[in-house]
């Protein structure tokens, strides 16, 4: 008879074969280019996301998940059935991750570098002689001596944001299906598209998903549980100039590109991503396109409170007015749209959702770290759709860049956290 005593259950950990399967999953997912696109008119916004979603759909069915469904908008849901004995119930809990990767960094031809038993020294990225992961710039590497690390080759992002989370969730399902003696309640699994463009929950049907609470596995460092996000808005600045042949332009041309440069130059230097940290708010210009007659600037605006958000937006509106005045004949329009709000407002009303995640991290043998995100997750929007959703670490570091890396041991602890979390929801009878 298999031992399913509390001591046995509390000692759950991944063995070498489990970790090997976890690594293989992550590498397989990482090699699929799933960059999302802000300019696409389709949803999901790119074919690569469909490719990974269909791969995951097949793997979910092969593992034995129930109610596997990939809908026309690219939301992939499935159910890990309860193993509780008759008469015992637990609320349905959701585990979520997004399949797309950041659109601004190359993800074609991802060729991960696997480093077994990392020796604690700087790491050379093999396809980019000018790029090295140094301990000086990456102090968290010092925590990973002896780990199996996965890095980029220096020419692409890695995709740990959020394929580490996807791999962790699939490994949770695989482990439970191979250990039916371990009692847990029903888990709804969900993989979403287009999180990186801010559209991850645009068509997410909370009622159809059917969970009481959920957790995104979309965080970074070991042990972190993120309960707070920025409030986020987007802004599009449209500049209309006057184009004419430069040979007869005196007193007649209004160059929209120069107006854009004026706006960029007037942005408050103390409130940019590169000059702020911790709970400081910022304005971030991240896309520019145009020509003499018309130009566009795209911004994201971030602050932990709506009041801070409004201050940064007033900065942008003021700068736009000043630039318009500096170039008579130019027209500068600013369109601001809401993206998401700080999920802490909702999570504070559901303390048990966060507390069980904290205890799950602790039971996995890791010190929990309550943290906040200088950004957002799908959970930000889902909280305000009625599904309280904090964020759990998945082990990746340096998201969105060529120097992205992940620790297999940290990913494994994310899996163990997911296992213990399911047990806790059943144990508490919530």
Q: Kindly write down the DSSP assignment for every residue of 221-290, as one continuous string.
A: STTEEEEEE-EEEEEEEEEE-B---GGG-TTT-B-HHHHHHHHHHHS-GGGSGGG--TT--EEEEEEEEE
Q: What is the pLDDT of residue 206?
A: 98
pLDDT single digits (tens) 51-80: 999 999 999 999 999 999 999 999 999 999
Give the lowest-confidence range in 87-91, 262-266, 293-297, 305-309.
87-91
Q: Mean per-residue pLDDT for 31-43? A: 95
| CATH code assigned at 54 | 3.40.630.10
Cα–Cα distance measured from residue 48 to residue 345, given in angstroms and rounded to the nearest whole number: 35
**48-62, 85-99, 309-323: least confident range:** 85-99
What's the chain's average pLDDT?
95
Q: What's the pLDDT score for residue 376? A: 82
147: DSSP letter:
S
Asked if residue 196 and residue 64 are part of one domain, the reply reads yes
User: Each residue of 303-315: pLDDT tens digit?
Assistant: 999 999 999 999 9
Residue 1 in any domain: the answer is no
Answer yes or no: do 50 and 192 share one domain: yes
185 and 283 in a single domain? The answer is no
Within 8 A by CB and 6+ apart from 387, the residues are: 94, 206, 209, 211, 213, 214
Give me the pLDDT at residue 12, please: 87
- Whether 200 shows a pLDDT value over 70: the answer reads yes
246 located within any domain: yes
Instruction: Supply the pLDDT for residue 8.
Output: 46
> Does residue 5 have a pLDDT over 60?
no
pLDDT recorded at residue 38? 87
Q: Is residue 281 located within the same domain as residue 169? A: no
Above 90 in pLDDT, residue 247? yes
Q: Which residues are catalytic?
A: 100, 195
In terms of domains, do 64 and 172 share one? yes
On whether both 361 and 308 belong to a single domain, the answer is no
Confidence (pLDDT) at 3:
42
Q: Do 391 and 131 meet the contact criterion of CB atoms below 8 Å apart?
A: no
Q: Looking at the structure, do residues 48 and 164 belong to the same domain, yes or no?
A: yes
* Position 377 confidence tier, pLDDT thresholds 50, 70, 90: confident
State which residues form the domain around 301.
Answer: 231-340
With a cut of 70, say whether residue 82 has pLDDT above it: yes
Same domain, 238 and 200: no
Confidence of residue 6 (pLDDT cuts 50, 70, 90): very low
Which of 422, 400, 410, 44 lies closest to 201 in space, CA to CA?
44
Last residue of a domain, one of 340, 367, 390: 340
Residues 411 and 366 in one domain: yes
> What are the start-end ranges of the H helices in 64-118?
none
The residue among 3 and 241 whose pLDDT is bigger is 241
Instruction: Report, as an integer, the average pLDDT of 23-35.
Output: 98
pLDDT of the residue at 375: 84
Report the CATH number at residue 323: 3.30.70.360
Task: Give the pLDDT confidence score for residue 215 in this predicted structure.
Answer: 98
pLDDT, mean of residues 187-200: 95
* Band (198; pLDDT cuts 50, 70, 90): confident
Sign of the Cα torsion 268, 270, 274, 278 reads negative
Confidence of residue 430 (pLDDT cuts 50, 70, 90): low
Model confidence at 393, pLDDT cuts 50, 70, 90, reads very high
Residue where one domain finishes, among candidates 322, 340, 358: 340
Q: Which helix (H) or strand (E) holds 12?
A: none
pLDDT confidence of residue 87: 81
Tell me which DSSP letter residue 142 carries.
Answer: G
The residue from 309, 340, 371 where one domain ends is: 340
CA distance 398 to 156: 12
Structural domains of the chain, count: 2
Instruction: Give the three-state DSSP class for 370.
Output: strand
Task: Name the helix (H) or strand (E) containing 133.
Answer: strand 132-133
Residues 134 and 270 in one domain: no
Q: State the average pLDDT over residues 290-311.
A: 97
Q: How far apart are CA 361 and CA 369, in angstroms?
A: 9
pLDDT at 11: 64
Same domain, 379 and 287: no
pLDDT of residue 4: 45
Residue 146 has a pLDDT of 98
Three-state SS annotation for 289-356: EECCCEEEEEEEEEECCHHHHHHHHHHHHHHHHHHHHHCCCCEEEEEEEEEECCCHHHHCCCHHHHHH
CA distances 261 to 48, 202, 266, 290, 411, Å, are 35, 33, 9, 12, 43
> Quick one: average pLDDT of 390-413?
97
What per-residue confidence (pLDDT) applies to 406? 98
One domain, residues 66 and 135 = yes
Which tokens in the block code for residue 147? 């780990």
pLDDT digits (tens, 9 = 90+) for 112-166: 999 999 999 999 999 998 999 999 999 999 999 999 999 999 999 999 999 999 9
Read off the pTM.
0.89
């Amino acid at each position: 008879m298999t031992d399913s005593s509390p001591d046995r259950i509390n000692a759950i950990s991944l063995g070498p074969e489990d970790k090997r399967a976890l690594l293989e999953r992550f590498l397989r997912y990482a090699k699929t280019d799933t960059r999302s696109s802000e300019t696409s008119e389709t949803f999901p916004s790119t074919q690569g996301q469909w490719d990974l979603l269909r791969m995951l759909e097949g793997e979910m069915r092969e593992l034995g998940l129930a109610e596997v469904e990939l809908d026309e908008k690219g939301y992939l849901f499935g159910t890990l059935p309860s193993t509780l004995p008759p008469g015992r119930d637990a609320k349905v809990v959701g585990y979520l991750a997004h399949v797309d990767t950041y659109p601004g960094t190359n993800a074609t031809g991802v060729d991960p570098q696997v480093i077994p038993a990392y020796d604690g020294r700087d790491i050379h990225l093999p396809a980019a002689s000018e790029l090295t992961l140094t301990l000086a710039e990456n102090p968290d590497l010092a925590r990973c001596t002896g780990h199996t690390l996965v890095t980029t080759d220096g020419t692409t992002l890695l995709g740990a944001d959020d394929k580490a989370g996807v791999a962790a969730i699939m490994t949770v399902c695989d482990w439970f299906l191979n250990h039916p003696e371990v009692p847990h309640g029903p888990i709804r699994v969900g993989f979403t598209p287009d999180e990186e463009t801010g559209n991850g929950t645009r068509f997410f049907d909370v009622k159809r998903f059917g969970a009481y609470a959920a957790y995104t596995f979309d965080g970074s460092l070991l042990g972190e549980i993120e309960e707070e996000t920025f409030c986020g808005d987007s802004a599009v600045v449209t500049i209309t100039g006057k184009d004419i042949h430069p040979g007869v332009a005196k007193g007649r041309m209004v160059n929209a590109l120069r107006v854009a440069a004026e706006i960029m130059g007037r942005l408050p230097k103390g409130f940019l991503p590169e000059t702020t940290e911790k709970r400081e708010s910022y304005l971030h210009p991240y896309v520019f396109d145009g020509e003499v007659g018309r130009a566009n600037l795209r911004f994201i605006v971030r602050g932990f409170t709506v009041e801070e958000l409004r201050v940064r937006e007033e900065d942008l509106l003021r700068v736009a007015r000043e630039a318009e005045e500096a170039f008579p004949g130019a027209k500068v329009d600013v369109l601001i749209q809401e993206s998401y709000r700080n999920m802490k407002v909702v999570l504070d009303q559901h303390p048990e959702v966060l507390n069980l995640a904290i205890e799950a991290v602790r039971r996995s043998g890791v010190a929990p770290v309550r943290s906040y995100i200088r950004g957002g997750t799908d959970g930000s929007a889902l909280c305000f759709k009625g599904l309280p959703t904090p964020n759990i670490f998945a082990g990746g570091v340096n998201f969105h860049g060529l120097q992205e890396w992940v620790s297999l041991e940290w990913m494994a602890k994310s899996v163990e956290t997911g296992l213990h979390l399911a047990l806790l929801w059943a144990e508490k009878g919530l």
